[in-house]
A and B are shown apart, each in its own frame.
Chain A
Amino acid sequence: MTGAELLASLGKFLGTKIEEQIEFRGETALMIAPRDLREAASFCKEELSFDYLIDISSVDNFGNEPRFEVVYELYSMTLAVHLRLKLRVSEDDPTVDTISDIWPTANWHEREIYDMMGLRFKGHPDLRRILMWEGYPYFPLRKEFPLEGKPSEMPDVAFTSAAPMEGGPFVTQPSTATAKDREPRARRPVEE
């Protein structure tokens, strides 16, 4: 089976459940509904030799509805084919089915997404925070969360306070300017 046949048989299996198919630089991404995830994932693993889950990532499209997007990067070791599964998740019901029983490596990826973005994974065996500590009240990678952080207090566990930004945040500004002007540096706050 070649890569093209692989994707064709997946397309046949999912049929109308594919909401959108995106081709980019020879790689395919399929947008599916969150309820079809487990069906599609186990088909990919068992029938289509996608034996390697490279990564799960989440995107916060702040201001759009549905707000969140979860991206599963699959790879077939035997056929050297990439496949991307994408879900759109609403802010009102930020839950996705776990796939940690299909690819065990999903366990920690899902914990990280829960920790940073606040999406819950239904059926996950151990959905705890993985980078921040239990009891930390925020989800730091959401767009409304400021880079400098917010004060929090967990007695005997950890505390946080907002970092002084001192003219920051020191991040590269996306533009077509030269490297000298794009570079992270202290910028005066814009006068209002």
Chain B
Amino acid sequence: MQTQSEIGYNSKIEGDVVITRIDAALAWFQKNSVWPMPMGLACCGIELMAVGASRFDISRFGSEVMRFSPRQSDCMIVAGTVTYKMALAVKRIYDQMPEPKWVIAMGACASSGGMYRSYAVLQGIDQLLPVDVYVSGCPPRPEALLEGLMKLQEKISGERSFSSQKRGLIGKIEALV
């Protein structure tokens, strides 16, 4: 089919076309390139390095770009024991990450304080940050973290970031149509 309009669809020029919602496209882009902020604080950090290395290879899930700058990362992986002395530094780094952002609490310590029921350890990073996925284990196997990442991808693919942020704009477009 050929149309006369310039913005119309010409199959001879443009090839195959996928029609989707902008929310679904955005979520698909986001979930396949979640750049992690590796917040390695204890032994879970070593497992996190294993996840990045060739045997487990987090790049199969699009998350190989570990960014040590919070301004370039999407997902903070809190890997290890969060002491009270470190807790506000973790919070500050989280605050510097641009939206949209997610948090994975990796391992028992980051999720609940783990074995460290003591005066020095924050009893779970969820007291300071909104955690999306908890990964159990002490430390978790690399597969467990990958499973957690896949759970996070599932969560991201259900998000409607465009329609929730640009509700006013969509209203205007609908009014024009």
Contacts and interface: CB of A to CB of B under 8 A. Distances in A.
Interface of A: 131-133, 138, 140, 145-150, 156-161, 163-166, 168-170
Contact of B115 (A158, A160, A165, A170): A170
Interface string B82-118: 0011011000000000000000000000000101011
B115 A159 contact: no
Q: Say what secondary structure dominates the interface of chain B.
A: loop
Contact of A157 (B88, B117, B119, B123): B88
A163 B85 contact: no
A158 B88 contact: yes
B84 A163 contact: no
B119 A164 contact: no
Interface in B107-145: 113, 115, 117-121, 123
Nearest to A184: B115
3 smallest CB-CB distances across A and B, nearest first, come from A149-B119, A163-B117, A160-B84
A163 B114 CA distance: 11
Contacts, number: 45
Interface size on B, as a range, is 10 to 19
A148 B118 contact: yes
A157 B120 CA distance: 14
A148 B119 contact: yes
A158 B84 CA distance: 6
A156 B117 contact: no
A149 B120 contact: yes
B84 A169 contact: no
Contacts of B87: 158-159
B117 A140 contact: no
A156 B88 contact: yes
Contact of B85 (A132, A161, A164, A169): A132
A157 B85 CA distance: 8
Contacts of B119: 138, 140, 145-150, 160, 163
B119 to A, nearest CB: 3
B15 to A, nearest CB: 56
A150 B84 CA distance: 12
A147 B118 contact: yes
Nearest to A141: B119
A148 B123 CA distance: 11
Contacts of B120: 131-132, 140, 149
